[in-house]
Amino acid sequence: MSVRPAWEVRESGAAATSWFNVRLAFTDGARVDLLAVLSQAALSIEDVRAEPPLSLDDLAVVAEWIEEPLFEACGSHLGGGREQDRDGQARRARPAWPRGAEGLLLVAEAYRAAQEDGADPVLAVMGATGHSRRESLRLIAGARDAGFLTPRHARR
């Protein structure tokens, strides 16, 4: 795997947005090329190309594989978004989130607040919990099952 800076846009001498090329090469000849974008201390994937094509499940696994090398390459740009675990390994900090009914109630509150503001409620839950889209959708479904959110579809 390789991570290389691609280019950077500066505002008033400080880096505002940076792009990174990421390549995963496998021994069987398969490869995945990504373009990661770092803007305002947020890291996102802008483009993914794979040969052979990836399924959605494979794409989720690729995100886990590239997370650490990307944060290592971008760490100087990210500032305080990382911390050390017990073994001294760097890891991404995730906000503490309560488990059980209390956590589901907080998920429901974040979801409803985003709806009222006209924002994407799933992204609001992702931002509040620090979890992936898949995990956030699971939490939202749990909040619905617990009765904190209205059912997604009217039952007949």
Q: How far apart are CA 7 and CA 44, in angstroms?
A: 15
Q: Which of the residue ranges 38-47, 55-64, 80-89 would you say has the lowest mean pLDDT?
A: 80-89
Phi and psi, residue 126, nearest 5°: -60, -45
**In whole angstroms, what separates CA 35 from the centre of its chain?**
15
> Considering the entire predicted model, what is its pTM?
0.43
Bridge partners (DSSP) of residue 84 are 90
Stretch 110-119: mean pLDDT: 92
pLDDT-based confidence at residue 46 (cuts at 50, 70, 90)? confident
Stretch 88-96: mean pLDDT: 50
Predicted pLDDT of residue 95: 56
Q: What is the pLDDT of residues 1-23, one digit of tens each?
A: 788 878 878 777 666 788 888 88
Q: Do the beta carbons of residue 117 and residue 127 sit within 8 Å?
A: no
List Cβ<8 Å contacts ≥24 apart for 133-141: 134/60, 136/107, 139/103, 139/104, 139/107, 140/107, 140/111
Q: How far apart are CA 35 and CA 3, in angstroms?
A: 10
Average pLDDT, the chain: 77
